[in-house]
Structure 1
Amino acid sequence: MRRALLGVFVLAVASAAAALGCEGRPRPADATSTEPPRKSGPAIAVMDLSGGLPEQEKPGLFGVTGAKKSFDEALRITTDIRDDKKSVGVMVKLGGAQIGAARAQELAEMLAGIKAKKSVFCHADALSNTTLMVAAKGCSSIWISPAGEVEAIGLAAQVVYMRRLLVDELHLNVDFLQVGKFKGAEEPLTRDGPSPEARASLMSVLADMREAWIETLSTSRPKATPDIVEDGPWSPQRAKELGLVDEVGYFDEALAEVKKQTGGVRERVVFGSGAEEKEGDLDELVRALAGESSATGPIALVRATGSISMTAGGNGILGGRGGIIEKDFNRTIAKLEKDDDVKAVVIRIDSPGGSALASDLMWHQLMKLRRKKPLVFSVGDMAASGGYYLACTGDYIFAEPMSIVGSIGVVGGKIGVGDALERIGVHAETFPAHPSKPGAAARAAYESPLVKWDEPTKVRVLDSMTSVYELFLARIVEGRSTRGRQISRDKVAESAEGRIFGGKEGKARGLVDEIGGLGDAIAKARELANLSESARVAVIAGKSGLFEALDPGASGGAGESVGASMTSPIRLLERTVPDVVPFVTSMAPLAEGERTAVAVPFAVTVR
């Protein structure tokens, strides 16, 4: 078996070498070509964001992630472009990309830094709430395709409540409990509408996010008043008349214009599809196949994206789902703790939470690392519930105004089918080994979907959940009491019970230390480790190597994913409504044997 695997490995490397080798060879001149592309002279740096800007690129063949398509890579490249004297201008291709609110805020700041030194043109086929914000702040000139649309429509949340369907129509037993009156995680299953507490929590965070969004737009584009940016969608020509965009035209026309204005004679794709590859790509492929990090550096950047779980869930009800897997994550953190060449660690987190058990195990491993070297967290769109459980271990936590933090609470329960089956003539009988003990049957079968919880069982489950909630508060107190800070349980409790907050409110409440993005978090890590401003940042791969990926027993390996996950419900959701996947999977541990979860109550995405 090992010989066969080695053959696959060598073949893959040889194929990659051939591909990389061929890519660099000059192609024969086309018979109809009048002039070959210029390879020297002033250049226009092209950033292709039309494929989106994910926190982490999805892995391709053998688990190798794509290059120059992730958010942290965009941060590095924009810094390079800003200081590159050979690039006289920048062309940003937005296409119809959907970019999360917090990432959009930092991207806008990145581009604004370049705009202060050179022209930045942006072209889009369609502009959403967040990509309009990016273009408004970061671009010297905004272009929109003639058949495109400016979807400046304002921010809103929509929550689906299913109690009547589940209980009245399908006759299912919905046994869900929560600790924290603002948590609201069970409300979509147990209510026909929001509780006053859940409504207040959601409306508060929406107000904070709206304020940050409006402020960015109106400061960058004085004509972008709330009356306009919340009253779309607008046609391209109308958007131009309103001052939301500057020109209506095609991408090639915008590119020609930026060349004309800057004196650029060629374009160079630096990010996204068609980006120039850097030296050492073959070595990087070999390391990736072996499960090693792509590079080394005194600052280690770890991506923690998606729901939190003990396993990849390949055999669960939802199929393989990825996310932040306890086994993989803790193995990575343990390696960084022991690596003396790593002087500080930055974790970029974007998670709605998930398994309470996995969150606590990861918290423990992160605290061990923090005792040896600086640990800084950068919050992407969200570090809520279990996501915040991890983030509280940081020496410092950075978040954007439109990031979401908090949701400190616990939810647990199950959906039972016993009553529904009884209606069609199917009866389940429980036979306890100790039949004379009152409640023995209900207790022994409390995990069964065929039996609903009686009141004594609910009391015991709630008691267990309350214990997890108190542990959650204690972990935050210990995690946040560092670097001269001392936080009490009462102080944490004021922001607990499931409330969610925007970045600014989170900072005011002591849940966040600084308003800023990934770049700011990296700068703080360098400062804490007494490193220079140019100290290298190494992105630590979270994926396993080829050999482990083919091991059926490995977390998230091929044995779990190749067969079942291709047709799993999660794969269907990824193709249809990808934004909700992290939120659905954050509750998946409850369907796979665990009885408590630390997860955000509803899917909150801003586009």
Structure 2
Amino acid sequence: MLRKNNLTYFITICWMLLLANLYALQQPISFSSHLNDFYYNPALLSADKDNGIAVQTSFSDNDDFNIYLRSSSSISFAYLNNDKKYFIGNGSRIFKNFYLGTGLEFKKHKKTIKKIGIIYRPFDVSSFGIVAQGVNWKPDLTTEIAIRPLFFIRKYSSYLNLFFQQPISYDYEKDKYQDDDFIIGGQVEPINGFQIEASYINDKDRTYQIGCKINFSQFGTAFISERTSDNHSEYNITEFSERKKRSIFSIGKHTAKITISGNISQEYEGFSIFGHKSITDFEIIEQIDKAIKDKSINKIFIEIKLFTCNYASLEEIRNKLLKFKEQGGEIICYFEQTGRGGYLLASTADTIIMPESGMLNITGFYAETPFYKRLLEKIGIKIDVFKIGKYKSADEHFTQEEFTEPAYEDYRKLFDSYYETYIEEIAEARKIIRGTDALKEAIDNGPFTAEEALKYNLIDKIGYKKDAEELYKSKSTVKVTKGTVNLKNVYFKNYHWVEAPKIMVINAIGTIITGKSQKNPFSIPFLGRKFFGSDTFSEMIEKGKKDRNVKAIVVRINSPGGSALASDLMWHKIYQLNKEKPVIISMNGVAASGGYYIASAGTKIFADKMTITGSIGVISMRPNFSGLYSKLGINKQVIRHGKNSGMFHTCENLTDDETAKFNKLTKDWYNLFTKRVSCGRNGLTQNEVDSLGQGKVYIAREAEKCGLIDDIGGLYDAIEFARKIAGLDDYYEITFCPEPKQLFKGLTDIIDSRSIFYIPDFGDMIFHSDIDEDILKD
């Protein structure tokens, strides 16, 4: 709503325009007024996206009714009963703020009328429309210019729209185009959800229209009267749209339903021949954000089923739920069985319900790591290791029978931090008396039946799903909840005329490699299933760089590291782009070693509370299969030129010269690593980076204290900072790269031999943290 002083000024202007017959609108062609406007200009289908149905009826003629089915993503349809006409139309975006629409109008025993519409919007306060229609190559034309006079109050500029329309018809007798009677009009919304519409046609009958429209969120109804000097008619337009609009008043309160299940990942998985379904953490966060923005939603009902998700993503989802509660919302949670991660989300609820037969599987944190030294010795395989960093431990799985003391100390500290953070958050959310000590004692008695969970104050009620649903249907402390909504299907009308500036999110997920990104059907031990390629990353960066509508880029990293060369190529791309556009880093579950290498080039680094980062060090492993070949009775004869020619081959022991060269390369890469971090983190010298390095891993809070990251926060926090540093207001669009794959693109990826199976190159130095986020998944 407008402030009081602005509102008085606003209404005064509107009534002056009305009295002067200069205000109002009947079917403009350069902006949307009703869902049926695509019939007059099909370009509006892409310029003002909305889906729904509209029915127009006449109060004076029962046979005069029209039906309009609008779809911005496919063909739209209209049926005009009085004239027995059919219309189909489609619209598309040609380039930024320029839209084209085409349509065909059919009538029995009549020639087909073709329509072509164009809309161009150079600014958010002006729109130009042109429509050509006819049966031959000399069509009638209609041109229109629309403006928003309240441009000086940006927030309310869409509350008043004025237009001037000039029809131009072809005179076959004079064989030339001539101007017809012009139309002037507009639309005003003095209060949210209540619009007044009118138009004036400068013809001999001095025709004018005036009407009003009332919006109730997704439902709207308009009453319009058309009058001439000797005639008048009235009609009604009723419409149901997909997108929520400004409403004249709220129709009760609603409960939003969110189901947590399946594989929750950080990027769109695309098509799977196995029918595997996944949802991204951002999609869930976006659903909760819709509930925060939608004032008609006062409750969220969360049903937690079996799922997998890393703890950093759970933290982001949890923080959004807490923000909903901060704004006065209520959360009800139901689960039948869940574990640590599910309960981390459930603990945010005001009421937690589980059935008597349910199970709460909280027993603490547990992880196990395999060591293969004795197995490799038995089969005759030796691993040559070259590394810098006493905490660097990726090799120890193959060269030791258990972790060395520095590596174990690092892991122990990391696990302690995770456990303490988890306990603190649960104790605070559940308001447990005696706090963390009491919760630790309770967890030592887990897992819990429903009765035990109730005893330890881990849940609030024992009941089934129906009992939980009754809770959110009952009377709340403020208003009665009328029903439930699926947040996936909630969309809000975009009142802006120009396309939103973009913030691009680039997902850098998986082990870092050179070349193109790859995805194996099965996970490789210590390397995972996903491989993020430097060429793929470069293409994404170039795409964001060239798109003028992209004002900032957020690189979301979930990677334990990988190729040293690929890491440096990615670092350089970010460093160079930072000179033109801000690049913000958002660390998810793991951004360590090579993952931290590329992050250090960002303008600002955000990390989730549960993010594992650091591991600044270098390690390279070379398998030696000579012992295995001997056991199998295989003999290889070698011919060589160059004293280091056998460095990257695996059939014989390294020479002293080759060993020395490996050690030198490792030192050079470590020096480059610390140099790059120091360059990106301006407050740290190279010596300081070295003291923080040596392969040591950090949880986010520790990393913030020592200057390796800038702030604790998730993807939404990084996007919000990118918005501010790019100078954007609240109107912007978030785009993801890579984009979700369509069905046939997914099929071609499966058929493409390059993505069937990826094996890493042993000849590359490796920045790898040995942190497997799967051990910290629920």
- TM-score where L is the length of structure 1: 0.78
Q: Deviations over 1:506-555 (max 9, x none)?
A: 0011011111112211121112112224433222335678898788xxxx
CA distance in 2, matches of 1:237, 1:57: 39
CA distance in 2, matches of 1:229, 1:379: 30
Counterpart position of 2:197? none
**Structure 1 residues 322, 121: CA separation in 2 closer, same or farther (over 3 Å shift)?**
same
**Structure 1 unaligned residues grouped into runs of 5+:** 1-16, 23-38, 281-294, 435-439, 571-587
Q: Deviations over 1:222-272 (max 9, x none)?
A: 3362222354222222112111112233334322322224433432222xx
**Structure 1 residues 128, 478: CA separation in 2 closer, same or farther (over 3 Å shift)?**
same
CA distance in 1, matches of 2:320, 2:518: 37
- What SS does structure 2 have at the residue aligned with 1:427? coil
CA distance in 2, matches of 1:183, 1:80: 43
1:233 aligned onto 2:447: yes
Counterpart position of 2:190? none
- What SS does structure 2 have at the residue aligned with 1:49? strand
Counterpart position of 2:486? 269
Q: Is the contact between residue 159 and residue 602 of structure 1 (CA under 8 Å) also seen in structure 2?
A: no
Counterpart position of 2:639? 431
- What SS does structure 1 have at the residue aligned with 2:692? coil
CA distance in 1, matches of 2:536, 2:669: 23
Of 565, 569, 582 in structure 2, the residue corresponding to residue 357 of structure 1 is: 565
Counterpart position of 1:144? 354
Q: Deviations over 1:200-225 (max 9, x none)?
A: 11122222222221111111123362
1:519 aligned onto 2:713: no
- What SS does structure 1 have at the residue aligned with 2:307? coil
**Structure 1 residues 164, 491: CA separation in 2 closer, same or farther (over 3 Å shift)?**
same
**Structure 1 residues 560, 244: CA separation in 2 closer, same or farther (over 3 Å shift)?**
same
Q: Is the contact between residue 345 and residue 374 of structure 1 (CA under 8 Å) also seen in structure 2?
A: yes
CA distance in 1, matches of 2:521, 2:295: 53
**Structure 1 residues 152, 602: CA separation in 2 closer, same or farther (over 3 Å shift)?**
same
Of 489, 505, 511 in structure 2, the residue corresponding to residue 307 of structure 1 is: 511
CA distance in 1, matches of 2:519, 2:338: 37
CA distance in 2, matches of 1:127, 1:105: 16
**Which stretch shifts more, 379-388 or 254-263?**
254-263
Q: Deviations over 1:463-483 (max 9, x none)?
A: 1122111111111111112xx
Higher helix share: 1
Counterpart position of 1:473? 674
CA distance in 2, matches of 1:457, 1:313: 31
Q: Deviations over 1:323-375 (max 9, x none)?
A: 32211111011121222221111122111111111111111111111111111
Q: Is the contact between residue 430 and residue 445 of structure 1 (CA under 8 Å) also seen in structure 2?
A: no
1:161 aligned onto 2:371: yes
- What SS does structure 2 have at the residue aligned with 1:53? strand
Q: CA deviation at 1:278?
A: 5.8
Counterpart position of 1:292? none
The equivalences for 1:327-342 within 5 A come to 327-342=535-550
Q: Is the contact between residue 395 and residue 480 of structure 1 (CA under 8 Å) also seen in structure 2?
A: no
Counterpart position of 1:79? 289
Counterpart position of 1:463? 664
**Structure 1 residues 220, 313: CA separation in 2 closer, same or farther (over 3 Å shift)?**
closer
Counterpart position of 1:583? none
Q: CA deviation at 1:181?
A: 0.9
The equivalences for 1:183-194 within 5 A come to 183-194=392-403
Of 591, 595, 600 in structure 1, the residue corresponding to residue 764 of structure 2 is: 595
CA distance in 1, matches of 2:592, 2:362: 27
**Structure 1 residues 133, 21: CA separation in 2 closer, same or farther (over 3 Å shift)?**
farther
**Structure 2 unaligned residues grouped into runs of 5+:** 1-70, 77-243, 245-250, 433-437, 494-498
CA distance in 1, matches of 2:522, 2:650: 13
Q: Is the contact between residue 92 and residue 123 of structure 1 (CA under 8 Å) also seen in structure 2?
A: yes
Q: Deviations over 1:482-519 (max 9, x none)?
A: xxxx3200111121011000010000110111111122
Q: Is the contact between residue 626 and residue 650 of structure 2 (CA under 8 Å) also seen in structure 1?
A: yes
Q: Is the contact between residue 48 and residue 269 of structure 1 (CA under 8 Å) also seen in structure 2?
A: no
Q: Is the contact between residue 556 and residue 587 of structure 2 (CA under 8 Å) also seen in structure 1?
A: yes
Q: Is the contact between residue 99 and residue 131 of structure 1 (CA under 8 Å) also seen in structure 2?
A: no
Of 609, 615, 623 in structure 2, the residue corresponding to residue 407 of structure 1 is: 615
The equivalences for 1:445-456 within 5 A come to 445-456=646-657
Higher strand share: 2
Counterpart position of 1:579? none
Q: Is the contact between residue 509 and residue 530 of structure 2 (CA under 8 Å) also seen in structure 1?
A: no
- CA RMSD for the aligned pairs? 3.2
Q: Is the contact between residue 316 and residue 608 of structure 2 (CA under 8 Å) also seen in structure 1?
A: yes
CA distance in 2, matches of 1:488, 1:109: 34
Counterpart position of 1:287? none
CA distance in 1, matches of 2:637, 2:272: 49
Q: CA deviation at 1:145?
A: 4.1
- What SS does structure 1 have at the residue aligned with 2:295? coil
**Structure 1 residues 255, 506: CA separation in 2 closer, same or farther (over 3 Å shift)?**
same
CA distance in 2, matches of 1:123, 1:413: 48
Q: Is the contact between residue 559 and residue 591 of structure 2 (CA under 8 Å) also seen in structure 1?
A: yes
CA distance in 2, matches of 1:399, 1:602: 16
CA distance in 1, matches of 2:547, 2:427: 47
Counterpart position of 1:57? 268
Counterpart position of 1:245? 459
Q: Is the contact between residue 268 and residue 739 of structure 2 (CA under 8 Å) also seen in structure 1?
A: no
1:371 aligned onto 2:588: no
Q: Structure 1: which amino acid aligns with 2:513?
A: S
**Structure 1 residues 20, 536: CA separation in 2 closer, same or farther (over 3 Å shift)?**
closer
CA distance in 2, matches of 1:84, 1:545: 30
**Which stretch shifts more, 378-387 or 232-241?**
232-241
Q: Structure 2: which amino acid aligns with 1:174?
A: I
Q: Structure 2: which amino acid aligns with 1:560?
A: S
Q: Structure 2: which amino acid aligns with 1:276?
A: N
Q: Structure 2: which amino acid aligns with 1:487?
A: L
Q: Structure 1: which amino acid aligns with 2:676?
A: R
Residue identity (%) = 25
Q: Is the contact between residue 522 and residue 529 of structure 2 (CA under 8 Å) also seen in structure 1?
A: no
Q: CA deviation at 1:112?
A: 1.2
Of 410, 418, 439 in structure 2, the residue corresponding to residue 209 of structure 1 is: 418
Q: Structure 1: which amino acid aligns with 2:597?
A: Y
CA distance in 2, matches of 1:54, 1:355: 23
Counterpart position of 1:90? 300
Q: Structure 2: which amino acid aligns with 1:384?
A: A
CA distance in 1, matches of 2:422, 2:402: 27
- What SS does structure 2 have at the residue aligned with 1:182? coil
Q: CA deviation at 1:433?
A: 4.1
- What SS does structure 2 have at the residue aligned with 1:301? strand
- What SS does structure 2 have at the residue aligned with 1:494? helix
Q: Structure 2: which amino acid aligns with 1:520?
A: D
**Which stretch shifts more, 385-394 or 254-263?**
254-263
- What SS does structure 2 have at the residue aligned with 1:183? coil
Counterpart position of 2:111? none
Aligned length: 514
Counterpart position of 1:218? 427
Work out which of the two has the higher radius of gyration on C-alpha atoms and give 1 or 2: 2
1:120 aligned onto 2:317: no
